[in-house]
Each structure stands twice: as C-alpha cells, then as structure tokens.
Amino acid sequence: MTANRIQIGRILGTPVPMLLPDEGPVHVLIVGEAPGPRGADKSGIPFFGDAAGQHLYAALARMGAMVLPPELDSLPWDGAEFTAASIVPLAYGVALGNAYDRCPSDDGQSFRAPIRAELESTRNFSRLNRELDQLAARGLKGIVTLGRVATRTFDVLLKQKPRPALARRALPHPSAQGLLSMAPNRGKGAKMADLQQAWMVRCEYAVQQAGYPAPVYDES
C-alpha cells in the first residue's frame, strides 16, 4: 500500500499585497493584471520578478519613484531569488498593485489568466475599494492601469463606485504581447529592446499625467 503524499504545487497562490511607500504621500497607483508564477507569486511584491515587471521597475527607478538595491544587478530577475536574498524595492510616491491579488491556477502547477467572474467578484471589488480608500487617505491623485484586463476591471469598479477626482491613464501591458500590440504593423520587424524603451517612456509620462510630481531641476 502506497502512502498518500501531500503535493506542493509550484504556484503558491497566496494574496500579494500592494507595494507602498514606507511613509509620505502616494500620488499614483499602478495596477497590473495578477501576480505571475515566477515573480510576484514568489517575491510577494507586485511585478517584482515577473518578466513584465523588469522594465516597469526600471522606468520608475529612472523617474525617482523606486529605489532598487544594488545587489539586484547580480541576480537573475526571479521572485524566488529575491526572496532568498531578502531583497525589497523601496517605493516613493507610487503604489503597485494588481486587479487580482493572487496568482491564478486551477491545480497549483499551471498559471492561467484570471477570469472575469474572479476579477469582478464581491470579494475582489471589496478589496480594491479598501485599497483605494487607504490610498485616498494618503493623497491618491490617479491610477495607471497596465493592459486590457486591469483597465476593464477598473472601468467596472469605478462605474459602480465613481471616484471622479482620480485621474486615469491606461498603458499596454509590459509583457511581450502587450509591447507588440503598441507597435506599428503588429510589431513586424520591431526589436523588443526598442519596444521596451518606448514603453518605459510612455510609462513615465502616464505616471506623471496621473499625478506624480514632475522633477524640479535646479537652474542655479
């Protein structure tokens, strides 16, 4: 007789909370679709280790909204590696979150996209509204959604409970598929590195348009 074994899946599927500044105002919330299996599902931090998150973090660091530990340069971009090394990014003036707060999976092994019933459930909308209330108390000015799923989810959420004072901007998702969608001729002949750089510029602009303060230059 073979003893029963407890199977531990490669996907944790535990809730990933927002990444918030330790102190000070939060001007802009940046929202993705859901934690990825190699990134946020393992790091516990939105986008951190997700393939699509690498140029998001780079764009935010470039505009002063994120500080990344120098040890990051010696590690692969992988959530489990970051957790093992106790590496955590520091946000300034922005918060990062997801339309769905856990890595979706039916079997603990394979990732799938979150379905609309999950995204628009009472539980999920209650969570999103609590997060928006929390950020409103810290001066939230706007939201930037990444990709069609996050944008649609917030369209429905804010239709049910309008927050007219919040500016909204939408960007293509920073995944390879999302980057190709913003390129002419469906990205035919485009270099991925060029698309990533173009997306980063658009991201910086959208975050500023949503309410992040523009840099002040010393002209003395």
Q: Quote the mean pLDDT of the chain.
A: 91
- Identify the band that residue 5 occupies on the pLDDT scale cut at 50, 70 and 90: very low
User: Is it the case that residue 37 has pLDDT exceeding 90?
Assistant: yes
Instruction: Write down the pTM of the prediction.
Output: 0.91
Helix%, strand%, coil% for the chain, nearest 5: 40, 15, 45
Under DSSP, is residue 31 helix (H, G, I), strand (E, B) or coil?
Answer: strand
Burial of 7 (0-12, 13-18, 19+ CB in 10 A): exposed
Terminal-residue alpha carbon distance, the chain = 81
User: Is it the case that residue 187 has pLDDT exceeding 90?
Assistant: no
Mean pLDDT of 77-93: 96
What pLDDT score does 184 carry? 73
Q: Which two tokens stand for residue 188?
A: 């035919």
Residues facing residue 98 across a β-bridge? 32
Q: Which two tokens stand for residue 196?
A: 């990533």
What pLDDT score does 219 carry? 54
> Do 111 and 48 touch, CB atoms closer than 8 A?
no
Mean pLDDT of 62-71: 95
Mean pLDDT of 194-219: 87
What pLDDT score does 7 carry? 37
Share of the chain above pLDDT 90, in %: 81
Domains assigned to the chain: 26-209 (3.40.470.10)
Burial of 216 (0-12, 13-18, 19+ CB in 10 A): exposed
User: Is it the case that residue 217 has pLDDT exceeding 90?
Assistant: no
Mean pLDDT of 182-190: 68
> Do 41 and 12 touch, CB atoms closer than 8 A?
yes
Q: What is the pLDDT of residues 87-121, one digit of tens each?
A: 999 999 999 999 999 999 999 999 999 999 999 99
Mean pLDDT of 70-87: 94
